[in-house]
């Protein structure tokens, strides 16, 4: 089958629907091995073709959802960026409260960073934050003498739709922080 030739959806309708359902239910990126196990196929190339046809179907349809193939070959179903802001208030639970979220953003921006330094800057509650962030698999830790070195994980990058390349991630975070900065609102008012 040619690389740009679409998969015959009717021949693989059940597998197409299973991949679509798996992406919907998981709420996170899935690799080809996982998708292959769901559709009970051995050929990851065929699974990739079907997953790409699911992505193409979503690209062509007028829906608020999209299916993306990530750089590392995984696939994810998510809300299109233009729909996130209007509907995010309907999310039933927040992943993190403000304290752990600030600790997470500090770690992400400074990584790799020692836990001792994070505690020095963020305070003693950092120990609880680090434990919570580790439980959510948003950060990883490795021993360095009497302290730990903290880094964000692939789960963090996926959840916040950031690059897994740390340098690029830091640039994305810097832009995001500038957009969210209260100083930006003050500057806009001064310009008015």
Three-state secondary structure readout of 87-102? HHHHCCCCCCCHHHHH
What is the rounded radius of gyration, in angstroms, for the C-alpha atoms of the chain? 20
- The CA distances from residue 97 to 6, 67, 172, in Å, are 44, 29, 22
Q: How many domains does the chain have?
A: 2
pLDDT tens for residues 109-137? 899 999 999 999 999 999 999 999 998 88
Mean pLDDT calculated for residue range 37-46: 93
Look up residue 98 and give its two tokens: 């403000």
Q: Are residues 46 and 76 in the same domain?
A: yes
Regarding whether 137 and 57 lie in a shared domain, the answer is: no
User: Within a domain: residue 74?
Assistant: yes
Tally of CA atoms within 13 A in the half-sphere of 166 that contains its CB: 12
Q: Which residues contact 149 (CB under 8 A, 6 or more apart)?
A: 112, 113, 114, 115, 141, 142, 143
Report the pLDDT value the prediction gives residue 42, as an integer from 0 to 100: 92
Confidence band for 190, pLDDT divided at 50, 70 and 90: very low
Residue-level pLDDT at 5 = 44
Which of 60, 80, 100 is at the close of a domain? 80
Q: Is residue 101 located within the same domain as residue 51?
A: no
Note the pTM of the prediction, 2 decimals. 0.57
Query: Which of 80, 111, 134 finishes a domain?
Result: 80
Nearest to 140 by CA among 173, 164, 172, 167: 164
Tell me the CATH number at 141.
1.10.10.10
My answer on whether 122 and 171 are in the same domain is: yes
Q: Is the pLDDT reported for residue 188 higher than 80?
A: no
**DSSP summary character for residue 6:** P
Say if 174 falls within a structural domain.
Answer: yes
Per-residue pLDDT at 186? 47
Tens of pLDDT, residue by residue over 59-107, are 999 999 999 998 888 899 988 888 887 887 777 666 778 899 999 999 9
- Give the domain extent around 49: 13-80
Q: Where does the pLDDT of residue 176 fall: very low under 50, low under 70, confident under 90, or very high at 90 and above?
A: confident
17 part of a folded domain: yes
Q: What is the model's pLDDT at position 36?
A: 94
């Amino acid at each position: 089958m040619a690389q740009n030739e679409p998969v015959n959806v009717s021949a693989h309708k059940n597998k197409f629907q299973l991949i679509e359902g798996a992406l919907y239910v998981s709420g996170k990126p899935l690799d080809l091995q996982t998708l292959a196990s769901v559709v009970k196929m051995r050929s990851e190339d065929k699974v990739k073709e079907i997953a790409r046809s699911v992505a193409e179907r979503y690209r062509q349809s007028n829906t608020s959802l999209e299916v993306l193939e990530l750089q590392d070959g995984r696939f994810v179903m998510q809300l299109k960026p233009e729909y996130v802001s209007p509907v995010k208030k309907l999310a039933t639970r927040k992943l993190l409260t403000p304290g752990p979220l600030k600790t997470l953003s500090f770690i992400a921006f400074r990584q790799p960073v020692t836990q001792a330094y994070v505690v020095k800057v963020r305070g003693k509650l950092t120990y609880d934050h680090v434990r919570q962030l580790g439980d959510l698999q948003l950060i990883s830790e490795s021993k360095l003498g009497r302290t730990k070195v903290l880094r964000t994980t692939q789960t963090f990058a996926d959840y916040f739709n950031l690059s897994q390349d740390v340098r690029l991630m830091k640039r994305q975070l810097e832009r995001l922080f500038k957009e969210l900065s209260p100083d930006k609102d003050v500057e806009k008012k001064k310009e008015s």
